Amino acid sequence: MLKVAVVGAGVMGSTHTSCWSQINGIKVQAICDIDIEKAESLARDYDADSYSSFSEIVKRSDIDIIDICTPTPLHRDMAIEALRMGKHTLLEKPIARTLQDAREIVKVARDVDVKFMTAHVLRFFPEYISAKKLVDDGTVGIARMARTKRGGQFPSKRWKDWYRDVEMSGGCIVDTGIHDFDYLRWIFGEVERVFAYALTWKNLDRKDYALVTLRFKSKAIAQSEITWAQPSGSPFRTSFEIIGTEGLITSDNLNSSSMKMFMSRDNHPYILYESPLAESPYLSEIRHFVSCIEENSEPLITPEDAYRALEIALAALESSRVNRAISVGGEI
């Protein structure tokens, strides 16, 4: 049996913990959070141990997997320590806040004999998988353009209110837009140039918005709209269009999901979109990671994939700051 420790007992940590508990051959062994009361509360639900110190949890010899669901600024140190301690490591996106930190994680991940994956979960959403298959099969001809939208209200106050600090979170471009950047790169290949407009640098209180244009080496063009500027209580919305020479693919989560659950955690409203006929994408993602460990296979999202997604996001953030296009695609 593989034993897992989840680090971070917030919304994503709770979601991941529920998924781990549904997989045969997995035991949720420990929960870690800087807020020990949150760790204890989540741990009780799964008969797990609770910790407030990452260093203590990563030293446990009976822990096989570390799942890091913490704020981005903590990713580098935790991921590197977990990998060097011989733990299979699942890391929430983005891989890191800076390219230098990301390079260090990539290097360590390639040097150790354990599995590592950054949780770019869009690759496990059925509609995104289906759209990619239609593109790959040539059903819509040659894919030339895409539009994506993602976002809702500004994230609620969390640890150190870190979403407000662009140096910590990267704003909506890095924290939220990176989902679509990874997916679009999966569809169209490498990006060569990025141009973005954003409110990130306007010093607006708890409002952020960006419009990002990506040009790919394949000459395809995509536009991503990302927002943390919707009114309080607004649903989190995602949509995409992929336009080919022979057809158009569209999806909108407010229209395409057969079941919606309106919830609130930590005074932050959100909606879960589910289909009773489909497995949760988060469960599919974690099930895939487990299979890679058991079969000694390469995860769908490689360390280099996670690095390239961050590279695109940081180029967009810099473009919005200097108001000019930024080239991407350097050495890792």
pLDDT digits (tens, 9 = 90+) for 183-196: 999 999 999 999 99
How much is the pLDDT for 267? 56
Q: Looking at the domain covering 2-120+285-297, what would its CATH class be?
A: alpha beta
Residue 258 has pLDDT above 70, yes or no: no
Q: How far apart are CA 30 and CA 293, in angstroms?
A: 19
Residue 265 has pLDDT above 60, yes or no: no
* Percent helix, percent strand, percent coil in the chain, to nearest 5: 40, 25, 35
Residue type for position 216:
F
Extents of the domains making up the chain: 2-120+285-297, 123-277+309-327
Average pLDDT value for residue range 293-310 = 98
Contact between residue 305 and residue 184 where contact means Cβ atoms under 8 Å apart:
no
How much is the pLDDT for 203? 87
Q: pTM for this structure?
A: 0.93
How much is the pLDDT for 264? 58
How much is the pLDDT for 156? 81
Q: Which CATH architecture has domain 123-277+309-327?
A: 2-Layer Sandwich (3.30)
* Residue for token pair 């007992």: 9
Mean pLDDT (the chain, rounded)? 94
